[in-house]
Structure 1
């Protein structure tokens, strides 16, 4: 297990997954968020807004 996470015990049923989101700042005060292998983009005026938009679009996508 990765050293960044605490070891789980037999009563811990938490599943942890790591992924990378690419946050790209555009020159027009806009951000775009993508993820490798996922055909979805998030957009926003801040990185946080773009990431939230991305997550919402992934949740609603038929992937």
Structure 2
């Protein structure tokens, strides 16, 4: 749903218009970028595995199907 006060009809722009301005601190941005690089390296090095959502749910919810 677009914000009629916004010149754009893009739903993402409309959503962002509802939020207060958010700025990431340089420290948080550096941490986030480091985590992303670490994750992508693990993926490239084939160190990551895939588990179906059902398997993860069973670990935390014993009666999950």
Task: Using structure 2 for the length normalisation, give the TM-score.
Answer: 0.25
Structure with greater proportional strand content: 1
Query: In terms of Rg, which structure is larger?
Result: 2
Q: Per chain length, whose mean CA-contact separation is higher, i.e. which structure has more relative contact order (CA < 8 Å, sep 6+)?
A: 1
Structure with greater proportional helix content: 2
Task: Using structure 1 for the length normalisation, give the TM-score.
Answer: 0.26
